[in-house]
């Protein structure tokens, strides 16, 4: 082996040890500037040895895709948990009447183009940003992948509430790196344009980061479809999954019912959206 490649082996192992999900040869080569055929041969040898040792596993249906084995499995202290300790959130459409949210829960809002996803997020902030019941979870962290400062100020000016108190941050990927484990996090929106299975992976990574906090995540969907990008895979982790089209909101999945014996799954609400911010004429249909 070219002696110049000797330092590459520990670099490859260190890079892999820092991964949190699936990765490819291409990802590794790009980050470590592996361009030569000798370097790529060494990289294959190192990955094979790690796979043989059970440190790394290969994806069963995709060539050249790997994941570091994560053996940590913290105990869940369910014996001392308080099952009545829901988070006293308020939602647009009064959804808190139908679904309960607990610490570490994921909420997904799948919406078609211009259906009202951002309006829902900003209204959710408006409803919760000053509530003393949520003091430990505030300020709300809002991660936007679309709006700059000027556009955001314009959108917020359309609401009647002028006393905004939340942190607006620019972010478009790898949200698990920046979500606050003990805060209310809003991700608007989770951008995945190819390999939609990665939506579920990103949602799982966000879930793993949460502690006492929650995350409300918006994703794109086709108009008329019930689920967003990632389809059924994106609906596995969320405790509350909502679908919004122009003029119609659907509770696709509510795992924790707010009213015993009243199943909210499949409930639909028609609405009008004024000035891109205010939901009016809300009716259950």
pLDDT value at residue 193: 56
pLDDT value at residue 75: 86
Q: Among residues 168, 71, 98, 80, which one has the least CA distance to residue 129?
A: 168
What do you get for the CA distance between the two ends of the chain, in Å? 70
Pairing of strands 214-220, 184-188: parallel
pLDDT value at residue 198: 72
Estimate the share of the chain in helix, then strand, then coil, as percent rounded to the nearest 5. 35, 25, 45
pLDDT value at residue 8: 87
Euclidean distance between CA atoms 59 and 132, whole angstroms = 46
pLDDT value at residue 202: 86
Euclidean distance between CA atoms 103 and 115, whole angstroms = 28
pLDDT value at residue 232: 61
Q: How would you class 90 by CB atoms within 10 Å of its CB: exposed for 0-12, middle for 13-18, buried for 19 or more? A: middle
Q: Over the chain (285 residues), what is each successive 10-residue block's mean pLDDT?
A: 71 89 89 89 92 91 87 84 92 97 95 90 96 96 93 90 90 90 94 67 89 94 69 75 93 94 96 91 95
Euclidean distance between CA atoms 262 and 283, whole angstroms = 18
């Amino acid at each position: 082996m070219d002696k110049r490649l000797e330092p590459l082996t520990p670099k490859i192992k260190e890079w892999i040890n820092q991964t949190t999900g699936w990765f490819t040869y291409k990802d590794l080569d790009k980050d470590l500037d592996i361009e030569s055929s000798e370097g790529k041969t060494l990289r294959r040898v190192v990955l094979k040895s790690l796979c043989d040792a059970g440190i790394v596993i290969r994806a069963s249906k995709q060539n050249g895709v790997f994941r570091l084995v994560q053996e940590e499995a913290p105990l869940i202290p369910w014996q001392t948990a308080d099952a009545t300790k829901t988070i006293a959130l308020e939602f647009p459409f009064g959804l808190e009447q139908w679904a309960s949210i607990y610490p570490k829960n994921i909420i997904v809002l799948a919406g078609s183009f211009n259906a009202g996803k951002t309006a829902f997020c900003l209204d959710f902030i408006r409803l919760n940003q000053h509530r003393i019941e949520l003091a430990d979870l505030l300020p709300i962290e809002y991660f936007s992948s679309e709006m700059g400062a000027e556009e955001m100020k314009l959108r917020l000016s359309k609401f009647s509430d002028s006393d905004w108190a939340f942190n607006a941050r620019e972010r478009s990927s790898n949200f698990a790196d920046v979500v606050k484990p003990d805060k209310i996090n809003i991700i608007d929106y989770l951008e995945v344009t190819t390999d939609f299975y990665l939506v579920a992976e990103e949602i799982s990574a966000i879930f793993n980061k949460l502690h006492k906090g929650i995350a409300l995540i918006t994703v794109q969907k086709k108009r008329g479809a019930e689920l967003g990008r990632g389809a059924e895979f994106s609906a596995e982790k969320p405790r509350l999954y909502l679908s919004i089209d122009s003029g119609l909101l659907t509770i696709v999945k509510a795992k924790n019912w707010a009213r015993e014996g009243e199943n909210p799954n499949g409930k639909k609400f028609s609405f009008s959206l004024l000035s891109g911010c205010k939901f009016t004429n809300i009716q259950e249909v």
